Structure 1
Amino acid sequence: MIDPTLIENIVAAKFEDDEVFIVELAVRPGNKIALTIDSYNGIPISYCIEVSKLIEANLDRDQEDFELEVASAGIGQPFKVLKQYHKNLNNEVEILTADGKKIKGKLTAVAEDGFSVEIEEMVKVEGKKRKELQVQVVDFKFDEVKQIKDIISF
């Protein structure tokens, strides 16, 4: 079976030059290679084709046959690596907490162990008849959430 480290080594220099990062790399039984990539500026399909050709040129099908899929990280898909959090700073996100609660807000900070989200809520203020819109920043640890993904709005 093809070693995922071999694939990482093949693309490392190109990805560093182009400021691209690996979101997910899996080599499944039958040498089915699935590589998902992203960058701070997005990934066009033409770039995925370039990466696919680069990998194919550096592997020998006669020695070990393989199936290859190179894709960009999808919009609205859960984040898998820390760089995706950094890429989406100041963007709207949806969080699914470990206890199943959905929260929407703006991603305002990212650290090694967690992130912060600015949330707007209608809150009942003492002495007033109507609820008022209040903004609060909520901190999350990565192990407190099942998933976080970007929200696309037009």
Structure 2
Amino acid sequence: MKQEIVAGLLEEALAENPSLFLIDLSIQADNQIQVVIDGDQGVSVNDCIAVSRKIEHNLDREEEDFSLEVTSAGVTAPLQLPRQFKKNLGRKLKVTLAEGILEGNLDQVEEDKILLSWKAREPKPVGKGKHTVNKEVWLPLEEIKEAKVMITF
């Protein structure tokens, strides 16, 4: 199965719904095609069906047998693209960096960095005890090893 052919059909399918975007396309040696998509407003089952049909109906099973799976990025899947970060503005993230892990609210997203904020208890500058301090840090996307949305119930 030619990756270029499938990628072209996928591009056409995504052009029909500009709120959808590609996370991953893989084609195994046994022609098992796996597509993972996400959307600015989420991904519905109908979105997956539409993308699947666009690809499947333009490939000839007589020429080459294949299996096709179109799924959405799961709620527990790490964020990979700046567009996914933008979609999750205001949500709490768990971000893994080389130096450790940060948890905080995603307050801003720019093309190559995100702003994370959180509250921390720190010793008072004068006297005994602790006080709550608002913290924030800009994190370059290239320094983020993994970022996941934290689901709270």
Which TM-score applies when normalising by structure 1? Answer: 0.89
Structure 2: unaligned runs, 5 residues or longer: none
Q: Secondary structure at the match of 2:96?
A: strand
Checking the alignment, whether the CA contact within 8 Å between 2:13 and 2:54 is kept in structure 1 is no
Misfit runs of 4+, over 6 Å: none
Q: Alignment partner of 2:49: what SS?
A: helix
Q: Aligned residue for 2:88?
A: 88
RMSD, matched Cα: 1.6
Of 141-150 and 66-75, the range deviating more from structure 2: 141-150
Instruction: Kindly state the Cα deviation for residue 2 of structure 1 after the two structures are TM-superposed.
Output: 1.9
Q: Which amino acid aligns with 1:104?
A: E
- Unaligned runs of 5+ residues in structure 1 are none
Q: CA deviation at 1:79?
A: 1.0
Quote the residue 1:109 is aligned against.
108
Q: How does 1:3-152 map to 2 (within 5 A)?
A: 3=3, 5-18=4-17, 19-99=19-99, 101-152=100-151
CA distance in 2, matches of 1:80, 1:114: 12
2:93 partner amino acid: V
Over residues 61-80 of structure 1, what are the superposed CA-to-partner deviations in whole Å (9 max), with x where a residue is unaligned?
11122121100000021012
Instruction: Out of 129-138 and 87-96, give the one that drifted further.
Output: 129-138
Identity %: 30
Structure 2 length normalisation: TM-score? 0.89
Give the letter for the 1:130 counterpart: G
Per-residue deviation, residues 37-87 of structure 1 (Å, max 9, x unmatched): 011111122321222122110111111221211000000210122210111
Aligned residues: 152
